[in-house]
């Protein structure tokens, strides 16, 4: 049996999402800008403690709840950003800065999604001695090697996958196996493409 995977890397990613939301203008936020960060902290800090104590079922449910909330907040901010351009609510510098924050948020949010859904999540992955493609949502290169049979993906692997999806708009080194993961990747690539187009269009307009 493998050692249980810690939750703190995903927790740090979610806190970073809350911090980026806090840095965006009020017009792109649902309610006070600090609210999302407060919700993340209130829910996820106790989750880390319960994870250590072995209450994994509650941790999984709470993790999905927070993920859905931050994803909806990100989509709301994206819609408000798109509508802010013709309305000229924000300055060009604020628009570019907000677009960059949303692009980074997109990477962090979907890194946590991929980490959460792959092979049943971190707890179930930790219960297996071998991480095989039969249970996996992604086929990492290490899974095709004849070397270390005890290899299992960690949060950094999913962060790298999410970064590649936002930059290349497609997976690079890890093919996608499950339909759920493919649906999430389509959404992430679409958000990234929209934000990149907004940044380029606004930059050209400024020049």
pLDDT at residue 207, as a whole number = 46
pLDDT at residue 5, as a whole number = 76
Listed as ranges, residues in the chain with pLDDT below 70 are 1-4, 87-90, 129, 146-149, 202-207
Q: Which residues pair with 176 in a beta bridge?
A: 138
Cβ distance 58 to 47 under 8 Å?
yes
Q: How many independent structural domains does the chain possess?
A: 1
In a domain, 124, yes or no: yes
What span, in angstroms and rounded, lies between the C-alpha atoms of 179 and 156?
Answer: 22
What span, in angstroms and rounded, lies between the C-alpha atoms of 144 and 139?
Answer: 8
Could you read off the pLDDT of 171-195 as tens digits, one per residue? Answer: 788 889 999 999 999 999 999 998 9
In a domain, 103, yes or no: yes
pLDDT at residue 163, as a whole number = 96
In a domain, 148, yes or no: yes
Closest Cα partner for 105 from 33, 20, 176, 35?
20
CA distances from 126 to 120, 137, 145, 154 (A): 10, 15, 20, 10
pLDDT at residue 17, as a whole number = 95
What's the pTM value of the predicted model, to 2 decimals? 0.89
What is the rounded (10 degree) CA torsion for 29, 187, 8, 125? 160
CA distances from 194 to 37, 114, 169, 206 (A): 25, 21, 11, 18
In a domain, 3, yes or no: no
Classify residue 68 as exposed, middle or buried by CB count within 10 Å of its CB (0-12, 13-18, 19+): exposed
In a domain, 122, yes or no: yes
DSSP structure string for 116-170: HHGGG-HHHHHH-SS--TTT-SB--GGGG-SS-TT----HHHHHHHHHHHHHHSS
In a domain, 2, yes or no: no
In a domain, 112, yes or no: yes
Question: Which domain covers residue 147, as residue numbers?
Answer: 8-206
pLDDT at residue 27, as a whole number = 85
CA distances from 34 to 109, 148, 180 (A): 17, 44, 31
In a domain, 164, yes or no: yes
């Amino acid at each position: 049996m493998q050692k249980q995977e810690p939750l703190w890397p995903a927790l740090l990613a979610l806190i970073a999402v809350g911090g980026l939301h806090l840095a965006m203008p009020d017009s792109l936020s649902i309610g006070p800008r600090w609210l999302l960060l407060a919700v993340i902290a209130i829910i996820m800090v106790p989750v880390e403690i319960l994870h250590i104590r072995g209450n994994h079922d509650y941790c999984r449910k709470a993790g999905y709840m927070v993920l859905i909330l931050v994803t909806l907040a990100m989509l709301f901010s994206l819609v408000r950003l798109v509508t802010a351009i013709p309305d000229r609510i924000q300055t060009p510098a604020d628009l570019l800065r907000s677009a960059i924050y949303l692009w980074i948020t997109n990477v962090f949010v979907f890194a946590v999604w991929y980490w959460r859904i792959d092979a049943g999540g971190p707890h179930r992955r930790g219960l297996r001695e071998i991480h095989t493609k039969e249970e996996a949502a992604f086929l990492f290169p290490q899974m095709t090697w004849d070397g270390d049979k005890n290899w299992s993906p960690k949060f950094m692997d999913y962060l790298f996958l999410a970064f590649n999806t936002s930059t290349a708009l497609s997976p690079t080194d890890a093919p996608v196996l499950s339909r759920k993961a493919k649906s999430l990747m389509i959404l992430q690539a679409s958000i990234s493409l929209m934000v990149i187009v907004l940044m380029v269009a606004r930059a050209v307009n400024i020049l």
